[in-house]
Protein backbone atom coordinates (compact mmCIF):
# COMPACT_ATOMS: atom_id res chain seq x y z
CA UNK A 1 0.00 0.00 0.00
CA UNK A 2 1.37 3.39 -1.01
CA UNK A 3 0.90 6.19 1.52
CA UNK A 4 2.39 9.53 0.52
CA UNK A 5 1.42 11.67 3.51
CA UNK A 6 -0.09 11.53 6.95
CA UNK A 7 -3.29 12.92 5.40
CA UNK A 8 -3.33 9.98 2.98
CA UNK A 9 -3.10 7.61 5.93
CA UNK A 10 -6.04 9.34 7.67
CA UNK A 11 -8.09 9.15 4.49
CA UNK A 12 -7.32 5.44 4.05
CA UNK A 13 -8.60 4.85 7.59
CA UNK A 14 -11.72 6.91 6.90
CA UNK A 15 -12.61 5.06 3.70
CA UNK A 16 -11.91 1.69 5.34
CA UNK A 17 -14.53 2.66 7.95
CA UNK A 18 -16.90 3.84 5.20
CA UNK A 19 -16.46 0.56 3.29
CA UNK A 20 -17.02 -1.52 6.44
CA UNK A 21 -20.23 0.33 7.27
CA UNK A 22 -21.82 0.81 3.85
CA UNK A 23 -23.84 -2.41 4.13
CA UNK A 24 -25.58 -1.17 7.26
CA UNK A 25 -25.73 2.48 6.09
CA UNK A 26 -26.12 2.49 2.27
CA UNK A 27 -25.84 6.28 1.98
CA UNK A 28 -22.14 5.91 2.77
CA UNK A 29 -21.72 4.34 -0.69
CA UNK A 30 -22.09 7.84 -2.15
CA UNK A 31 -18.96 9.14 -0.38
CA UNK A 32 -16.00 9.77 -2.63
CA UNK A 33 -12.58 11.43 -2.70
CA UNK A 34 -11.67 14.23 -5.09
CA UNK A 35 -8.04 13.56 -6.09
CA UNK A 36 -7.04 17.20 -6.49
CA UNK A 37 -3.93 17.26 -4.34
CA UNK A 38 -0.49 15.82 -4.70
CA UNK A 39 2.61 16.73 -6.59
CA UNK A 40 2.61 16.23 -10.34
CA UNK A 41 4.95 17.09 -13.13
CA UNK A 42 4.13 20.36 -14.96
CA UNK A 43 2.67 18.62 -18.03
CA UNK A 44 0.27 16.51 -15.98
CA UNK A 45 -0.70 19.53 -13.86
CA UNK A 46 -1.45 21.60 -16.97
CA UNK A 47 -3.50 18.77 -18.47
CA UNK A 48 -5.53 18.32 -15.27
CA UNK A 49 -6.15 22.07 -15.10
CA UNK A 50 -7.55 21.97 -18.66
CA UNK A 51 -9.77 19.07 -17.57
CA UNK A 52 -11.25 21.20 -14.79
CA UNK A 53 -9.20 20.42 -11.69
CA UNK A 54 -9.53 23.35 -9.30
CA UNK A 55 -7.19 24.10 -6.40
CA UNK A 56 -8.74 23.83 -2.96
CA UNK A 57 -11.71 21.58 -3.74
CA UNK A 58 -12.51 19.61 -0.56
CA UNK A 59 -11.14 16.09 -0.24
CA UNK A 60 -14.37 14.22 0.44
CA UNK A 61 -17.91 14.70 -0.81
CA UNK A 62 -21.00 12.97 0.51
CA UNK A 63 -23.88 14.11 -1.72
CA UNK A 64 -26.64 13.04 0.67
CA UNK A 65 -29.23 15.57 1.80
CA UNK A 66 -29.66 15.69 5.59
CA UNK A 67 -30.41 18.21 8.32
CA UNK A 68 -31.48 20.83 5.77
CA UNK A 69 -28.21 20.56 3.82
CA UNK A 70 -27.74 19.35 0.24
CA UNK A 71 -24.70 17.30 1.26
CA UNK A 72 -21.51 17.17 3.30
CA UNK A 73 -17.99 18.14 2.22
CA UNK A 74 -14.89 17.49 4.30
CA UNK A 75 -11.43 18.94 4.00
CA UNK A 76 -9.38 16.26 5.75
CA UNK A 77 -6.16 17.22 7.50
CA UNK A 78 -3.73 15.19 9.55
CA UNK A 79 -4.45 15.06 13.27
CA UNK A 80 -1.72 17.56 14.18
CA UNK A 81 -0.40 20.51 12.25
CA UNK A 82 -2.61 20.44 9.18
CA UNK A 83 -3.67 23.88 7.95
CA UNK A 84 -6.15 24.87 5.27
CA UNK A 85 -5.09 27.07 2.38
CA UNK A 86 -6.87 30.18 1.17
CA UNK A 87 -8.14 28.19 -1.83
CA UNK A 88 -9.57 25.56 0.52
CA UNK A 89 -11.23 28.22 2.71
CA UNK A 90 -12.88 29.74 -0.36
CA UNK A 91 -14.20 26.38 -1.53
CA UNK A 92 -15.63 25.59 1.91
CA UNK A 93 -17.36 28.99 1.90
CA UNK A 94 -18.72 28.34 -1.60
CA UNK A 95 -20.22 25.04 -0.50
CA UNK A 96 -21.67 26.68 2.62
CA UNK A 97 -23.24 29.38 0.43
CA UNK A 98 -24.90 26.59 -1.58
CA UNK A 99 -26.36 25.08 1.61
CA UNK A 100 -23.88 22.25 2.05
CA UNK A 101 -22.35 21.38 5.39
CA UNK A 102 -18.66 22.10 4.86
CA UNK A 103 -16.11 21.25 7.55
CA UNK A 104 -12.43 20.77 8.21
CA UNK A 105 -11.61 17.57 10.08
CA UNK A 106 -8.30 16.78 11.72
CA UNK A 107 -7.92 13.05 11.33
CA UNK A 108 -10.11 10.11 10.41
CA UNK A 109 -11.67 9.83 13.87
CA UNK A 110 -13.03 13.38 13.70
CA UNK A 111 -14.29 12.85 10.14
CA UNK A 112 -16.04 9.63 11.17
CA UNK A 113 -17.79 11.42 14.03
CA UNK A 114 -18.89 14.24 11.70
CA UNK A 115 -20.27 11.75 9.17
CA UNK A 116 -22.04 9.73 11.87
CA UNK A 117 -23.60 12.88 13.28
CA UNK A 118 -24.57 14.17 9.82
CA UNK A 119 -26.24 10.88 8.85
CA UNK A 120 -27.64 10.36 12.38
CA UNK A 121 -26.00 6.94 12.78
pTM strictly above 0.75: yes
Please name the residues in contact with 104: beta carbons below 8 A apart, sequence gap of 6 or more.
Answer: 74, 75, 77, 84, 88, 92
The pLDDT-based confidence of 91 (bands split at 50, 70, 90) is very high
What CA dihedral angle connects 91, 97, 100 and 102, to 10 degrees? 40
Rounded distance, CA 16 to CA 121, Å? 17
pLDDT digits over 28-75, tens only? 999 999 877 666 788 887 888 888 888 899 999 999 999 999 999 999
Pairing of strands 72-77, 101-106: parallel
Amino acid sequence: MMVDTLEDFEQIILFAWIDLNTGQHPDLALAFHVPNGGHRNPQTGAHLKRLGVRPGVPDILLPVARQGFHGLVIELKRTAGGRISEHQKRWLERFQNQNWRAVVCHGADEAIEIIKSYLDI
